[in-house]
Amino acid sequence: MTSATAVQIPGYVAGTWDIDAAHSTVGFAVRHMMVSKVRGYFRDFDGVITTAEDPAQSTVTARVNMDSIDTRQEQRDAHIRSADFFDVGNHTEMTFRSTAVRTDGADWTVVGDLTIKGITKPVTLELELNGFGPDAYGGTRAGFSAKTEISRKAYGVDIDMPMDGGGVVVGDKISVELEIEAVLRTA
């Protein structure tokens, strides 16, 4: 593994960044009926990214409002909010807190603790640094893409809906995809 201090990141800026939810996406995909994928996202989320002088010392914290799920089908969304899935009445937020940032050449990962329904498990996000630069308003922005795969059952989202002839209505593996734009805080 390469030392992060030896890695050159074009335009890299150390500082504290607020996630710009209007220009970011927290999305997911899950296998449906064994033949296709349903995609969705969360509309309400926030977070803070701290990029350290040594990128490997950087941190991320994020919060997602579970009630803001949107799969473009209100009946399905209401079911996902129910006790069968997220139990939003008792578990209003999903949170992420990084525990490590690692690099191996141009490949980056962020390791952290993901909490869903009060259950915390470690996850590893594959990270792409999209860039750092000025915005149209005199500020500075950064862009990041990240992805991972989790088991919904590991987080207590363990409803089984078997299909006649085998298989399940909703798969266990959830692909998580993040497109994050963040704004540098000013003093």
Q: What is the pTM of this model?
A: 0.89
Q: Tell me: the pLDDT tens digits for 6-25?
A: 456 788 999 999 999 999 99
Q: Tell me: the pLDDT tens digits for 36-63?
A: 688 999 999 999 999 999 999 999 999 9
Among candidate residues 124, 100, 108, the one with its CA nearest the CA of residue 9: 108
Query: What total number of domains does the chain contain?
Result: 1
Q: What is the CATH number of the domain that holds 169?
A: 2.40.128.110
Structure tokens at 95: 């949170």
Give the domain extent around 123: 4-184
- Phi/psi for 74 (5° steps) reads -60, -40
